[in-house]
Amino acid sequence: VQLVESGGGLVQAGGSLRLSCAASGRTFRSYAMGWFRQAPGKEREFVAAISRSGGSTYGAESVKGRFTISGDIAKNTVYLQMNSLKPEDTAVYYCAAKGSWNSPRYDYWGQGTQVTVSS
């Protein structure tokens, strides 16, 4: 499966962005999907995940109440709606897919999209 992220950019603190992850090769209903991010000099960290059916989601404590993950099966696309952005949200955001909801390992990764939040 191939994953392509889009929607990153520069935004002021308090603003919003919506990231998209388009999947090709197989429908994303075959996979659980996740968003991760990596800031300069830091390790990659988990942001949010959604199950194959879209019925289950969860997110990191640092983004709860601000970020929402969702999916559009017809478009084979997963979204990350990011509101109330903070400068510490600045990072490259990656979309990933895994075959099992319970597996800790993600098998497929996109190339990433840069999000920069100015103060």
Positive or negative, the CA dihedral 58, 62, 63, 64 is positive
Tens digits of residue pLDDT in 21-73: 999 876 667 889 999 999 999 999 999 999 988 889 999 999 999 999 999 88
The per-residue pLDDT for 52 is 85
- Residue 87: phi, psi to the nearest 5? -55, -30
Tens digits of residue pLDDT in 87-117: 999 999 999 999 888 888 999 999 999 999 9
- Give residues with Cβ within 8 angstroms of 59, minimum separation 6: 47, 48, 49, 67, 68, 69
The per-residue pLDDT for 28 is 62
Residue 104 and residue 89: Cα distance in Å, rounded?
23
Full strand arrangement of the beta sheet holding 2-6: 2-6, 17-24, 77-82, 67-72
